[in-house]
A = this chain, B = another copy of it.
Amino acid sequence: MKRFAVVGHLAATSGTFSLNDLAGSGGRMDVLCRCINSSFFLSHDLRRDVECYLVLCGEPGPEKTVLFRGSEVRYLSPDERSSAALIKKALSIPCGDEFRESTPGVYVRRGGLARLLAGIPFAVLDEAGEDVRTVPALPEAYLLSDHHNFTAEEEALIAGYSRYSVGPRSLHADHTITVLLNEMDRRES
């Protein structure tokens, strides 16, 4: 199972944001929607072996984590508005301590990065990390940040984690996922 987790530092934690203003009222929810797209979509197919965790840290709080499971997800189209609608739905149901399904293959629970890291051995995508093309064995789970860097508090949580880079330029999170999946595809083929 391949796993990606993306921290949305300003991303809305309530389902009241507008689908017509994902960047503003959604707290750059557009960034996370593009990460859903890049995690799952192939040409006329979905990557069923991927899970993507969105760590939402914005208003009104507290933090929530939304999980998309490729093996189960339905009603997901490639456009930002489609994944945003599924996130909005997830944020609109009562949120408990355990993942609860809001639509097929989409789940939501309370809690943020600390809890997520406690359960899954993530590597960190970081432009200063080791090149994914040359590392002998690639990890299966990767943590990324949205348009903001990891905070000092988050960096403390991931101190000592393995770090990997996808190339010489600093890329958006969704582009990083696309390049990384291409490397994984090549190794599997």
Contact = CB atoms under 8 A, between A and B. Distances in A.
B23 A20 contact: no
Contact of A38 (B19, B43, B168, B175): B175
Contacts of A169: 42-43, 182, 185, 189
B20 A20 contact: yes
B185 A167 contact: yes
Interface in A55-90: 77-82
A172 B78 contact: yes
A109 interface: no
Interface residues of A, number: 36
Interface string A140-173: 0000000100000000000000000011111110
Nearest to A31: B78
A22 interface: yes
B44 A170 contact: yes
Interface in A11-49: 19-20, 22-23, 30-31, 34, 37-38, 41-45
A175 B44 CA distance: 13
Contact of A78 (B34, B82, B185): B34
A10 B42 CA distance: 20
Contact of A37 (B34, B42, B81, B186): B34
